C-alpha cells in the first residue's frame, strides 16, 4: 500500500497541478470519443498504449476482454450497462476490443485447464466459447476471441442501432506486450494486420 500512497502524493503534488486546467474542464465535461474494452491484466494499460489523456477513453476492463452477448444481460448487466451508456449517452464514435499476448484467460482455454476451483472464472470464460470451440494455440485463440467479442458487442441494441446509423465503428486489436506492436483484427474473419509498431 505504501507504493500507492506515494504515487497518490506524487499525483497530487506534481501531476495534478500540471494538468489542473484539464481536470477543471473534465469536472463539467465528459465526452470520450472511444470506448476501449480491454483485459483486466495489469500489464495492459489502455491510456498508456494509446497515449490518451484523462477523459478521452471510456474504459471497460474484463478478464479476457470478454463482452457477454446481449442475451446474457441478466447475469452480466454491469458490462452491458457500461456499453449502453458509452454508446447511447456519451455517443462514442469508436469501440475498440483489445486482446493481448500472454492472456491468462485465453491460455487457460487453449490448454483446457480444469477450472473447478475457480467457478466464477469458469462461468465468465463461457463468453469466449465461440473462439474456444476449436482447439487453437493461445496466440490464434487470442485473435479469434477478439473477433468473437466484436460479434458479441454487435448484439447489444445500442451498438446495433449505432452501427445501423453509421455513428459507431468497431475495431479489434491485439497488443503484443514484449514488442508494443498492435495488430488490427477484422471483426468478421479474425484476420490480422499490424496496426502500429
What local confidence, expressed as pLDDT, does residue 132 receive? 78
- Cβ proximity of 141 and 131 under 8 Å: yes
Rounded to 5 degrees, φ, ψ at 188 are: -80, -35
Q: What is the pLDDT along the chain (197 residues), one digit of tens a residue?
A: 889 999 999 999 999 999 999 999 999 999 999 999 999 999 999 999 999 999 999 999 999 999 999 886 556 788 999 999 999 999 999 999 999 999 999 999 988 899 999 999 999 999 988 787 766 788 899 999 999 999 999 999 999 999 999 999 999 999 999 999 999 998 765 455 555 54
What local confidence, expressed as pLDDT, does residue 197 receive? 46
Q: Angle at the Cα of 63 (from 54 to 73), degrees rounded to 5?
A: 90
- Cβ proximity of 83 and 60 under 8 Å: yes
Q: What pTM value is reported for the model? A: 0.91
Just list the catalytic residues.
39, 41, 43, 100, 103
Amino acid at each position: 500500500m505504501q507504493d500507492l500512497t506515494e504515487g497518490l502524493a506524487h499525483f497530487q503534488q506534481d501531476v495534478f497541478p500540471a494538468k489542473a486546467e484539464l481536470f477543471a474542464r473534465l469536472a463539467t465535461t465528459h465526452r470520450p470519443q472511444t470506448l476501449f474494452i480491454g483485459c483486466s491484466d495489469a500489464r495492459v494499460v489502455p491510456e498508456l498504449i494509446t497515449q490518451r489523456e484523462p477523459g478521452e477513453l471510456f474504459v471497460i476492463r474484463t478478464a479476457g476482454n470478454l463482452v457477454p452477448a446481449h442475451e446474457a444481460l441478466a447475469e452480466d448487466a454491469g458490462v452491458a450497462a457500461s456499453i449502453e451508456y458509452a454508446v447511447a449517452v456519451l455517443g462514442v464514435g469508436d469501440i475498440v476490443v483489445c486482446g493481448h499476448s500472454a492472456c491468462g484467460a485465453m491460455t487457460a482455454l487453449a490448454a483446457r485447464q480444469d477450472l473447478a476451483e475457480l467457478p466464477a472464472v469458469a462461468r465468465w470464460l463461457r463468453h469466449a466459447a465461440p473462439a474456444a470451440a476449436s482447439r487453437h494455440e493461445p496466440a490464434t485463440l487470442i485473435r479469434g476471441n477478439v473477433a468473437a467479442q466484436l460479434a458479441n458487442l454487435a448484439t447489444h441494441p445500442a451498438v446495433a442501432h449505432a452501427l445501423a446509423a453509421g455513428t459507431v465503428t468497431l475495431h479489434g486489436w491485439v497488443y503484443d506486450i514484449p514488442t508494443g506492436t498492435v495488430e488490427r483484427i477484422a471483426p468478421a474473419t479474425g484476420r490480422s494486420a499490424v496496426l502500429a509498431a
